[in-house]
Chain A
């Protein structure tokens, strides 16, 4: 009896449990296998050509093909099995519609085109309304590297005619064998792949014989290049690698490697594309953690913020803190053709941020040379881009911090255009927390005769500035006179037409966050006057005396596309048959020069 009651109770429970609608469903999808992503360091193409004989041969053939009419790299005879394939390829490249896009439509320059596949057409390739006998119907595909597009021809080799041509925008055709081999060669000659697979360069052949190689598709959504993903399964070190190879620029984009269990056959459970690789890498390495680096006597901490671009903080020169924090909090863009039209762009992390223009890659370092070719310092640079820059209404900005060996430094913003039209005004908003003194600081401007100390929070327009004979407009000092002269851009530096800046000085408060942490956009896009956002920290004006000071600096740049005078502009040009982006950057921002005590 008791047993029966128990069974009934269990059944009742099961019944009710199964019928009760799930008030809360906390289903978990399959867990994502842990991946390790690495973005590849750029390797000069000439270096790769010297290292990879297949690439040298391919490069030679490609260069020759650009001189042909039409400029199309054909399949080698070794890749053609029969006469019909040869006829199909020949008929296709003689068809006007098939070769419609092989020259640049404006400049008539030859573009890089390559026949990918010539084979018998499959039933699915032949549209219903096309009469093309299967055995004599051939499928010919060609890829255009400039437009990232494909053209397909159906060729009736019996009747010697092209029966159908189809153009596919943003469509990548299947690869031919030489490109497949080339992708694998580029991958296994890249340091990142060698390291991830644990290949000993001296025993490369032996190691590679244990590696199962397969070719998978992937996509370079941002560069719009032809990309593939050779995958390598190394059963000895139990590591699987997904490498993204860019066949337009002949380079490794990056690698994602996991354990073998994360693969199904030759295909990883989570395929990776260029965007994912870039986003994950930047997030994990530069957004989720702080970094540091040293340049000679300089020690710099840095991170990519959610919406204030690249921030440098706790920067030391000869072990003394010089910069507590410096960043560009906004880029305001307005257009002169219509009042009120523009954007207030934040730059920052590529995921989970309120940025509209984001980091595609991590920060990098450049050496700075003077006119005599001597190295004088280093620059830490971070790129931020819109997805399809330089297409119209897309933007590219850089945060660039220059550290000179003599202890001076320059804080700049770089604008590569190109925006929506030629009447754009760009206004980066710099927040600079420079340490002239641990305690009270003084800010002064040159009035033509002497330094005039600011006693209250206020702003000033560069058009009213007077400069010392050295070109200094401002200075930030400690009460004992040590600190920095501040030299604005007046066209004396490369890629600078003058900063046309507003400068604002506010008192720093320990208990009030006026930009110490990440700032959302602080001003509207379209004001041309001083109302760019920082003025809100000056109202009502407080005394500057006895306070640590924050300098806000808002330059104005006007873009220009006049041939020969381009500024803050970018365009696409043809170079070796492929697309090259040419930019004319505008660089603004002040230089800080240490005051040498007499």
Chain B
């Protein structure tokens, strides 16, 4: 047998082997696809069948779906231009020697304050959006000289790319802001699912009349989409429990957490409900929930003295409360509390 013949024979054998092999692979693929289709149908069917124990099979979905509420949040881009490397800390501390916004490189502590970051006076809480823009608001400290009441119902935006701080929106209030209530916007949170910015404001509320609001805002169009009226709210957080997505809020007048359902478009449902009181837990007191964060089914809230005065500035003590979400009861279980810094 010549070399050429031998070559052809090996080629033919190889081709035959290849054909057999590709047939085998195709069959395997068909099986895999079939199994996947059945698995998918099974999963869909399983999820469609009403379950007497809804909490268990939703465990994975719930964790995932909560992630989608905040997964789009990005860090601002501009600090890179100024030589800072992520991760960054957003420093809005209020004290005698610090006013406005600072951005700090976490690893080194190096910080920057761009021109214009002090012009709105002392600032309060903040939230980031899907582009890395920072939203914050003015918040008075000790006196209203630097933060006059009529300037306090504003949302400020720090552009992710340039770092420029500008007035983003001046929100409406039922009554004209006055020195008797020097506060306006307090809580801010961004929802990645509906791309909505939620902002709580107590502007215009008086001792006898509660006129605060939560605003749902389309940040692209600077448009108020919905309002939740007649409640003075400080901290805000969004969380999807076993019965759907809700906005959790710390009341400004009472040391209590309440919640309201959020519909698909981000509007407020008609099911405002009490969650828990900070006074009812061991060691709890009259401090109000100022900052709320929910992560991995755990709510951490920072409580401070708040009485619509500027007294809190001289009370550095903040109490941190922790609650865990109880899926079986759709409630929050108290874990612990401690003084900030302890």
Cβ contacts A433-461/B at 8 Å (1 or 0 each): 00000000000000000000000000000
Bound CA–CA A227/B285 (angstroms): 12
In the complex, the answer to whether B314 meets A354 with C-beta atoms within 8 Å is no
Cβ contacts A315-350/B at 8 Å (1 or 0 each): 000000000000000000000000001111110111
Q: Say which residue of B144, B206, B228, B313 sits within 8 Å of A27 (CB atoms).
A: B228
Residues in chain A near residue B226, CB distance under 8 A: 21-25
Residues in chain A near residue B282, CB distance under 8 A: 217
A window 6-39: CB within 8 A of B: 21-30
In the complex, the answer to whether B308 meets A351 with C-beta atoms within 8 Å is yes
A170 beta carbon closer than 8 Å to chain B: yes
Contacts A29-B272, A219-B286, A351-B307: A344 and B142 contacting too (C-beta < 8 A)? yes
B179 beta carbon closer than 8 Å to chain A: yes
A85 beta carbon closer than 8 Å to chain B: no
A542 beta carbon closer than 8 Å to chain B: no
In the complex, the answer to whether B142 meets A345 with C-beta atoms within 8 Å is yes
B182 beta carbon closer than 8 Å to chain A: yes
B101 beta carbon closer than 8 Å to chain A: no
Bound CA–CA A521/B146 (angstroms): 11
Bound CA–CA A354/B97 (angstroms): 21
B window 260-275: CB within 8 A of A: 260, 263, 265-270, 272, 274
In the complex, the answer to whether B265 meets A21 with C-beta atoms within 8 Å is yes
In the complex, the answer to whether B260 meets A27 with C-beta atoms within 8 Å is yes
Q: Say which residue of B145, B179, B258, B312 sits within 8 Å of A344 (CB atoms).
A: B145
Residues in chain B near residue A355, CB distance under 8 A: 309-311
Bound CA–CA A221/B339 (angstroms): 13
In the complex, the answer to whether A221 meets B285 with C-beta atoms within 8 Å is yes
Residues in chain A near residue B96, CB distance under 8 A: 341-343
Contacts A355-B309, A355-B310, A387-B314: A343 and B270 contacting too (C-beta < 8 A)? no
In the complex, the answer to whether A219 meets B145 with C-beta atoms within 8 Å is no
Residues in chain B near residue A288, CB distance under 8 A: 207
Q: Say which residue of A26, A271, A344, A356 sits within 8 Å of B311 (CB atoms).
A: A356
Chain A residue nearest to B231 in the complex (CB): A29
Question: In the complex, which of the residues A21, A342, A388 has the most CB atoms of chain B within 10 Å of its own CB atom?
Answer: A21
In the complex, the answer to whether A356 meets B310 with C-beta atoms within 8 Å is yes
Cβ contacts B275-317/A at 8 Å (1 or 0 each): 0010110111111000000000000000001011111111101
Cβ contacts B19-53/A at 8 Å (1 or 0 each): 00000000000000000000000000000000000
Interface window among A56-64, A272-280, A484-492, A546-554: A272-280
B143 beta carbon closer than 8 Å to chain A: yes
Bound CA–CA A24/B144 (angstroms): 31
In the complex, the answer to whether B309 meets A356 with C-beta atoms within 8 Å is yes
Q: Say which residue of B258, B265, B309 sits within 8 Å of A354 (CB atoms).
A: B309
In the complex, the answer to whether A349 meets B309 with C-beta atoms within 8 Å is yes
Cβ contacts B122-143/A at 8 Å (1 or 0 each): 0000000000000000001011
Q: Say which residue of A25, A348, A351, A358 sits within 8 Å of B228 (CB atoms).
A: A25
Chain B residue nearest to A219 in the complex (CB): B285
Bound CA–CA A26/B140 (angstroms): 28
B94 beta carbon closer than 8 Å to chain A: no
Q: Say which residue of B143, B227, B231, B268 sits within 8 Å of A343 (CB atoms).
A: B143
In the complex, the answer to whether A27 meets B272 with C-beta atoms within 8 Å is yes
In the complex, the answer to whether B260 meets A169 with C-beta atoms within 8 Å is no
In the complex, the answer to whether B231 meets A219 with C-beta atoms within 8 Å is no
Chain B residue nearest to A342 in the complex (CB): B96
Given A27-B228, A357-B314, A358-B307, output 9 extra A-B contacts at Cβ < 8 Å: A24-B226, A25-B229, A29-B274, A169-B342, A221-B285, A221-B286, A283-B207, A341-B96, A356-B309
Chain B residue nearest to A353 in the complex (CB): B309
Contacts A29-B258, A356-B313, A387-B314: A276 and B286 contacting too (C-beta < 8 A)? yes
**Residues of chain B at the chain A interface (Cβ within 8 Å):** 96-97, 140, 142-145, 149, 179-182, 206-207, 226-231, 254, 258, 260, 263, 265-270, 272, 274, 277, 279-280, 282-287, 305, 307-315, 317, 339, 342
Residues in chain B near residue A407, CB distance under 8 A: none
Contacts A22-B268, A345-B143: A388 and B180 contacting too (C-beta < 8 A)? no
A394 beta carbon closer than 8 Å to chain B: yes
Chain B residue nearest to A218 in the complex (CB): B279
Residues in chain A near residue B284, CB distance under 8 A: 219
**Least CB distance, A47 to chain B, in whole angstroms:** 30
Residues in chain B near residue A25, CB distance under 8 A: 226-229, 260, 267-270, 272
Question: In the complex, which of the residues A345, A352, A386, A394 has the most CB atoms of chain B within 10 Å of its own CB atom?
Answer: A352
A524 beta carbon closer than 8 Å to chain B: yes
Bound CA–CA A313/B227 (angstroms): 43
**Residues of chain A at the chain B interface (Cβ within 8 Å):** 21-30, 169-172, 217, 219, 221, 270-271, 273, 275-276, 279, 283, 287-288, 306-307, 341-346, 348-358, 386-388, 393-395, 518, 520-521, 524
In the complex, the answer to whether B286 meets A275 with C-beta atoms within 8 Å is yes
In the complex, the answer to whether A353 meets B314 with C-beta atoms within 8 Å is no
In the complex, the answer to whether B142 meets A353 with C-beta atoms within 8 Å is no
Residues in chain A near residue B229, CB distance under 8 A: 24-26
Q: Say which residue of B263, B277, B283, B309 sits within 8 Å of A358 (CB atoms).
A: B309
Chain A residue nearest to B313 in the complex (CB): A356
In the complex, the answer to whether B179 meets A307 with C-beta atoms within 8 Å is yes
**Least CB distance, A339 to chain B, in whole angstroms:** 13
A sample of 7 inter-chain contacts (CB < 8 A) reads A22-B263, A22-B269, A28-B230, A271-B279, A354-B140, A387-B305, A394-B314
Q: Say which residue of A279, A348, A524 sits within 8 Å of B145 (CB atoms).
A: A524
Residues in chain B near residue A21, CB distance under 8 A: 226, 263, 265-268
In the complex, the answer to whether B317 meets A388 with C-beta atoms within 8 Å is yes
Bound CA–CA A288/B208 (angstroms): 10
In the complex, the answer to whether B280 meets A354 with C-beta atoms within 8 Å is no
Bound CA–CA A28/B269 (angstroms): 13
Chain B residue nearest to A221 in the complex (CB): B285
In the complex, the answer to whether B307 meets A341 with C-beta atoms within 8 Å is no
In the complex, the answer to whether B207 meets A354 with C-beta atoms within 8 Å is no
Bound CA–CA A306/B181 (angstroms): 10
Bound CA–CA A521/B230 (angstroms): 30
In the complex, the answer to whether B314 meets A346 with C-beta atoms within 8 Å is no
Q: Say which residue of A28, A346, A350 sits within 8 Å of B143 (CB atoms).
A: A346
Residues in chain B near residue A279, CB distance under 8 A: 307
Bound CA–CA A516/B312 (angstroms): 28
